Structure 1
Amino acid sequence: MITIDAMMVCLDLSELDDKLIAFSRSVCERLQVRKVYFVHNIKLYELADEFREMLGDLDLSQEVEGNIADLVAEQFGNITDHEILVSQEPNTEVILANLVRRYNIKLTLLGKTMSDKRTGAQGTKLLRILPCSVLVCPETASFNLRKVLVPIDFSDTSLHALRLSKALTDQLGLELEILHVYRLPTQFFPLISEEEAIRKAVEVVKGKFADLQRRHPEIAGVPYTLVRAANKTIAERIALHQEKGHHDLLVLGLRSMNALPALSLGSVAADVYNSDVGVPLWLVYPEEPARK
Structure 2
Amino acid sequence: MIAIDALMVCLDLSDIDIKLVAFARSICERLTVRKVYFVHNIKVYELSDEFKEWFGDVDLLSEVEGSIQDIVAEQFGNVTDHEVLVSEEPNTEVILANLVKRYRVQLTILGKKMSDKSTGALGSKLLRVLPCSMLVFPETARLDIQKVLVPIDFSDTSVHALRLSKNLSDQSNLQLEIMHVYRLPRQFFPLISEEKAVKKAVEIVKKKFADLQKKHQEIANVPYTLVRAANKSIAERITLHLEKGGHDLLVLGLKGNNPLPSLSLGSVPTEMYNTDIKVPLWLVYSGDVIKQAT
CA shift in 2, pair 1:83/1:119, >3 Å: farther
Deviations 1:77-121 (A, max 9, x none): 111110011111111111111110000001100111124463522
Task: State how far apart, in whole Å, the 1-side matches of 2:119 and 2:252 are.
Answer: 20
What is the alpha-carbon distance in structure 2 between the residues aligned to residue 163 and residue 230 of structure 1? 28
Which residue of 2 is the match for residue 268 of structure 1?
A: 268
* 1:285 alignment counterpart: 285
2: CA distance, partners of 1:216 / 1:100: 31
| CA deviations over 1:5-42 (Å, ceiling 9, x no partner) | 00000000000001111111111111111100000011
Structure 1, unmatched stretches of 5+, are none
- What's the CA shift for 1:261? 6.1
Q: How far off its partner does 1:197 sit?
A: 1.5
Aligned counterpart, 2:108: 108
Alignment of 1:177-256 (within 5 A): 177-256=177-256
Structure 2 Cα separation of the partners of residues 119 and 10 of structure 1: 17
Aligned equivalent of 1:6: 6
- The separation in 2 between residues aligned to 1:263 and 1:106, in whole angstroms, is 15
- The Cα shift of 1:167 comes to 0.3
More displaced, 206-215 or 254-263?
254-263
Distance (whole Å) between structure 2 residues aligned to residue 82 and residue 226 of structure 1:
42
Q: Is the 8 A contact 1:65 1:85 kept in 2?
A: yes
Alignment correspondent of 2:292: none
1:134 matched to 2:118:
no
Contact 1:131 1:257 in 2 (8 A): no
2:25 partner amino acid:
R
Aligned residue identity for 2:69:
A
Once the two structures are overlaid, the 10-residue window that deviates more, 100-109 or 117-126, is 117-126
| Separation in structure 2 between the aligned mates of residue 210 and residue 194 of structure 1, nearest angstrom | 24
The 3-state SS of whatever aligns with 1:5 is strand
* Alignment map for 1:29-40 (pairs within 5 Å): 29-40=29-40
TM-superposed CA distance for 1:192, in Å, is: 2.1
1:106-185 aligned within 5 A: 106-116=106-116, 118=118, 120-185=120-185
5+ residue gaps, structure 2: 290-294
The one-character-per-residue Cα deviations of 1:146-197 (angstroms, maximum 9, x if unpaired) are 2111000011110110010000001111111100001112233223221121
State the alpha-carbon separation in 1 of the partners of residues 107 and 266 from structure 2: 18
* Greater alpha carbon shift after TM alignment, 139-148 vs 218-227: 139-148
- Contact 1:152 1:162 (C-alpha < 8 Å) held by counterparts: yes
- Letter of the 1:64 partner, please give it: V
Q: Quote the Cα distance in structure 1 between the aligned partners of 2:270 and 2:247.
A: 19
Distance in 1 (CA, whole Å) between partners of 2:180 and 2:174 is: 20
The whole-number CA distance in structure 2 between the counterparts of 1:117 and 1:270 is 19
**Given the two structures, how large is their TM-score scaled by the length of structure 1?**
0.95
Matches of 2:158 and 2:213, distance apart in 1: 15
Deviation at 1:262, TM superposition (A): 6.2
SS of aligned partner of 1:118: coil
Over 3 Å counting, the alpha-carbon distance change for 1:250 and 1:202 in structure 2 is same
Partner amino acid for 2:59? D
Shift of 1:260: 6.1
Give the corresponding residue for 1:51: 51
Distance of 1:268 and 1:247 partners within structure 2: 18
Structure 2 counterpart of 1:82, which letter?
H
Deviations, residues 216-246 of structure 1 (Å, cap 9, x unaligned): 1111111111100111110010011111111
- CA RMSD in angstroms comes to 1.7
Give 1:258 shift.
3.1
CA distance in 1, matches of 2:243, 2:211: 29
- 1:261 and 1:202 map into 2 onto residues whose CA distance is 39
d(CA) in 1 for partners of 2:263, 2:35 = 31
Q: Tell me if structure 1 keeps the 8 A contact 2:256–2:263.
A: no
Give the deviation of 1:200 after TM superposition.
1.4
Partners of 1:52 and 1:257 lie apart in 2 by: 44
